[in-house]
Structure 1
Amino acid sequence: MPRQLRAEQTRATIITAAADLFDRHGYERTSLSDIVEHAQVTKGALYFHFAAKEDLAHAIMELQSRASRQVTSDVEGQGYPSLEALIRITFALTRLSVEGPITRAGLRLATGGVEVRPPLRHPFSEWLEIATRKLLGAIRESDVHPDIDVQAVAHSLVCFFVGTRVTGRPLEPVARLPRRTTEMWHLLIRGLVPVHRRPRYLSLVMRLEREVATAV
């Protein structure tokens, strides 16, 4: 195997192992020795790629941010109405959280006291911007009541979405996340969407939940 490819695979192995431990035990309770053992690499291999645990945490947060941006770009490229796009983005992010530890660990690190260094943005800020933009579009498309406080709704939506993951982590399995995303949208749709448009979006939410559950 070429040396560069082997180095890339080792780096990916270290990141995945660290993300798994950060997600399960937290940043402070995970040592570099724990990561070395979990990744089944040498300390020399770890230090070749990462000078400190903070650098490793930042690499995970960068991957989480990159994955979130890619999901958003992919959904927006499909030309969906704004509200449908927002719903699909939240389920796509949910799927990422269920499929692997990097997205979960990135969020836990960002909300657990690890500094998010510029130019990286905090996931809460990124998601708040997306939610605000999509809600404004949904108002223009008459899928959301025009008199809502967009900033308040966007903030509440992101708090709900992030809070479910943060508080639910030690209490229920990660496979429960699609159901929690559905519950969030059932509440929001009934509060935000005109009555005659609700069935379409309630049906969409149920379908997306099934798709995520089936895929994972």
Structure 2
Amino acid sequence: MQEPQAYGLWSLVILNSVLFIFFAFSFFKPNTARDWRSFGAFSAFLVALFTEMYGFPLTIYVLSGWLQSRYPGVDWFSHDAGHLLETLFGWKANPHFGPFHIISALFIGGGFWLISAAWRVLYNAQRTGELATTGPYRSVRHPQYAGFVLVMFGFLLEWPTILTLAMFPVLVFMYWRLARSEEKDTLAAFGEPYAAYTRVTPAFLPKLTRRDRGADTALGRS
């Protein structure tokens, strides 16, 4: 029997790109120009990812000589071999049940959850003209940007490519720049209350130590 085609499936490229971009849009709901820039960059990452996953395996072509010499028994143009980390580390079973794929799903799911949970808090805060300091904002100042980074990192574990690996640090830097710009605007709008919030709340990575209750009291939280 003829094996199913692994690449050149452009309908799947379009379908998956539209599906995940719409899924992210429903979680993030961009409103400002800054929101659209961050969402657009994330969308470009997804299109590049699914293009190599189903359309044209650029990374496999570029690395084919090295891969074939190091792993001569692997059909590198099969779809399963595109899960490079699973293949390189010798996972023999279905790569969708491999350790990297499972960890990837946790990062992707956690990232989308963080984006969604943060958006609800931010929406309510903007509607009432208050600072967003509860929910995910209690642990980090920019949970939505952190969520996008988690999703992209998860996809890198699942299907690493040269292009997405090159895009990842650029996008992380872009989110950092956007966060800095956002903080300047918020500080100008709220002054000392926001300055106090930044002194006790990290930007992207939550503290491992428990927050002093006095800090919460100072920010008007129980």
TM over 0.5: no
Bigger CA radius of gyration: 2
Q: State the TM-score, normalized to the length of structure 1.
A: 0.34
More helix, by proportion: 1
Q: State the TM-score, normalized to the length of structure 2.
A: 0.33
